[in-house]
Amino acid sequence: MRLKSFTAGSTQAAMKMVRDTLGADAVIVATEPAADGRGVRVTAAVEPPDDGFAAPQFDEIETAGRVQTLKRRLDFHGVGADLSDMLLGEAANAGAGDPALDLAAALDATFAFQPLAPERGKGRFLMVGPPGAGKTVTTAKLAARAVIAGQPVAVASTDGDRAGGIEQLAALTRVMEIDLIAAETHAALARRLPGPEDGLALVDSAGFDPYDPDAVAAAADLADALALEPVLVLAAGTDPAEAADTVRALAPLGVRRMVATRLDIARRLGGILVAVETGGLRFSDAGVAADIADGLCPLTPVALARVLIRDPDARRATSNDLRATA
C-alpha cells in the first residue's frame, strides 16, 4: 500500500488532488488542518498496480485504521510530514496486524540499528554532542556495561574546562575501580589508551557549541589523532528542527552512530528520528534510567516502536519496553 499526503486550501481541492494523482481507488487515511493552519492536509493510500508479484492482500479498512493510529502517534512526537509518510507507507506494507509490529517493521526498513554492545569488548569511542546531552553519564554507563561483562575498559576525559567535569566522571569510575585517564595533549592521551586490539577505550569529550566550526574541527582532530569513532550523544526530547541542525553542523566529525539519552523522561521523540534521518546515522543505544549499572540498553526497531506508540503519560513503560526487547 502506497501513502501520499496532499495539502490544499479546501477539503474539496485536496480530494481532487487525491483522485487526480492516486485514482478513484484511493482510501482516505486521515484529514487534518495543514501545518501552517491554512487549508487542509489529506493523507490517502492506494494499492500499487499488479506487476505479476502476488503480494499479500489486507483488509483496506483495517489497514487504514492501523495506519491512522500510527499517524496520530508520529504527529504527537513531531515527526515531519515527509518522514512520517515514509514510515506510514512501510507500516502499511508490513501487514503484521499490530500497530507496534507494523511500526517496528517500518523503522527497520527506514533506519539502521547498530548498538555499541556487539563490539566484543573492543572499540575506541569518543562521545560528542551538545553540552548537557549526557555524554559523561553515557561514558560511565558504557564502562559499567564492560565491567559487568568482565571486559577490559579504559576511560578518559578531555572535559577539563567545565567545572567538575572530570571530577564527576572520576567519581563514577572510582566505584568501578577504573582509573580515569586525563591528559592535556593528544599525544599523551594516545600513549595511555589501549590499542585497538587491547580492549575498549571510551573518551568523554568536553561539551562544545556544535555551530562553532573551530570547536567542531578541534573535536575532529582529537578523533583523528586517537583513531576514535565519534558517537553522537543526543537527548530525547530535543526539538526536531534543532536536532537536524545539530547533526548537519557536526557532519565534519564523520559521526556514524547515535546514543539517545533520557528516553525514560522525554515525552516527544521526533527529534532523535529526525537526527538519524538527517545525518544518515545508525541508532545505537538508549539511556533509559539514571542507574549507571543498568541504565543503558541497545536500541532495536521493536523497542523504539513500542516507546513511540505508548501512552505518553505511561513514562515507566519506557525502560521496561526497551529492556524487554534488547
Q: Where are the domains of the chain?
A: 2-110, 117-325
Q: What average pLDDT score do residues 174-191 get?
A: 84
Per the listing, cell 589523532 goes with 225
Alpha helices in the chain (DSSP H): 11-22, 60-76, 81-94, 99-110, 135-148, 165-175, 186-192, 213-225, 240-249, 270-279, 301-309, 317-325
Contact between residue 274 and residue 83 where contact means Cβ atoms under 8 Å apart: yes
**What is the per-residue burial (b if ≥16 Cβ within 10 Å, else e) of 3-21?**
bbbbbbeeeeebbebbeee
Per the listing, cell 567538575 goes with 164
- Environment class of 88 (CB within 10 Å of its CB; exposed 0-12, middle 13-18, buried 19+): buried
Contact between residue 316 and residue 161 where contact means Cβ atoms under 8 Å apart: no
The pairing of strands 229-235 and 123-128 is parallel
pLDDT tens string 104-153: 999 999 999 999 865 566 789 999 999 999 999 999 999 999 998 888 89
pLDDT tens string 14-73: 778 888 888 877 777 777 777 666 787 878 777 665 544 444 444 455 566 788 889 999
* Reported CATH class of domain 117-325: alpha beta
Residue 7 confidence (pLDDT) above 90 = no
Q: What average pLDDT score do residues 162-169 get?
A: 70
Looking at residue 190, its pLDDT comes to 83
